[in-house]
Structure 1
Amino acid sequence: MIPAMSPATARTASVAALRLGRVVSMGAVAALLLIAGVWASWSTAPYVLLTKGRERGTVEVTACAREACSGPYTPRTPGSTARARVEIDSVAVRKGHAYDVVVKPGTDQVLRSGPAGILYAWAPLGGSLLLASVVVAGGLRRTRAAWVLAGSGVALLTAAFLAL
């Protein structure tokens, strides 16, 4: 303790330092969660959002395994080539149905396009919004901001669920 400080002043300073440490550390955790959600979403989002110049078409699902379904790809854009077999995630696709898709460049993997594909691509961000809301409410004690984050996450995940 500094000799010129009274015990009450020292206690106030230590409480302020602890509060600042909590805010900085919890803010960093919340930011890390949100960055991780965007990072996870960005692995598929650019292909679905920025479709200009990409191979677009339809896939008719003929076979489904545990994690992926497959079927023939029929192109719709000029320069796109037909493929006998492409793979699509098995989330909300059914055997015998056709889906609009975008081909991931350099692969035989396709991603759903349109509103359902966009919402599915951003679903990891919805989960991270929900997780960050808990950190913001408990660690930062910002309940209004936490409710906004949680509401955004629930809305995004619900829209993705309904669209698929």
Structure 2
Amino acid sequence: MPSAVISSRGAVSALRFGRAAAMGTLAALILIAGVWASWGTAQHVMLTKGRESGTVRVARCAEDVCTGPYTPVSRGSQPRQKVVIAHTASVREGLTYSVVVKPGSSHVVRSGPAGILYAWVPFGGALLLAAVVVAGGLRRARPAWAMAGTGIALITGAFVTM
């Protein structure tokens, strides 16, 4: 009989380790995907040295994009008759926004605190999703609350600044 009890405890320990490994891997993959999704825009907003920066006055908005003339602020930047900016809830016709030009294109992204926070919104969503995995799968409530709070703060900060 003692061997059955020992093997049962070993199986339970192996299952617990397997669950922790699987949920930890899933949470890590969610966070990596959030960083990956955010970095496409965040790199242009955060690493501005050597990039063209200026302002865009939104002239017209369609379904997904808005366009307008670009006025340079940084040295070496050229004025453009038409640049494209994503049409978000905060971009309105007739208003002027500080932007950074994506290299080799006519696409621009918002700069400054609003642009940085908006670029990291996908990571904020990943933090919220990973918090559910950490709380439910890993049974770690405090780290989950910390992750969820950080995600909510990031998304709320982006909403307030935009």
TM-score range, shorter chain: over 0.9
The residue that corresponds to 1:112 in the other structure is 110
Shift of 1:53: 1.2
What is residue 75 of structure 1 aligned with on the other side?
A: 72
Alpha-carbon separation, structure 2, partners of 1:56 and 1:34? 30
- 3-state SS of 2:78 partner: coil
Residue of structure 2 in register with 1:129 after alignment: 127
**Deviation by residue 1:129-161 (Cα, 9 ceiling, x = unmatched):** 000000000000000010000000000000001
3-state SS in 2 of match to 1:42: helix
Tell me the distance in 1 between the aligned counterparts of 2:11 and 2:27.
24
Aligned-partner Cα distance in 1 for 2:2–2:60: 76
Structure 2, unaligned runs of 5 or more: none
Q: Distance in 2 between matches of 1:106 and 1:52?
A: 15
- Please show how residues 12-161 of structure 1 align to structure 2 within 5 Å: 12-91=9-88, 92-161=90-159
Report % sequence identity: 60
Cα offsets for 1:8-37 (capped at 9, x unmatched): 111100000000000000000000000000
Structure 1 length-normalised TM: 0.96
Greater mean alpha carbon deviation, residues 4-13 or residues 63-72: 4-13
Deviations 1:58-115 (A, max 9, x none): 0000000111100000001111011000000111100000000000000000000000
CA RMSD of aligned residues (A): 1.0
- Letter aligned with residue 134 of structure 1: V
TM-score, reference length from structure 2: 0.97
- Following the alignment from structure 1 to structure 2, what is the Cα–Cα distance between the partners of residues 156 and 67? 23
CA distance in 1: counterparts of 2:130 and 2:118, whole angstroms? 19
State the alpha-carbon separation in 2 of the partners of residues 7 and 78 from structure 1: 76
Aligned pairs, number: 161
- Runs of 4+ in structure 1 off by over 3 angstroms are none
Superposed displacement of residue 5, structure 1? 5.6
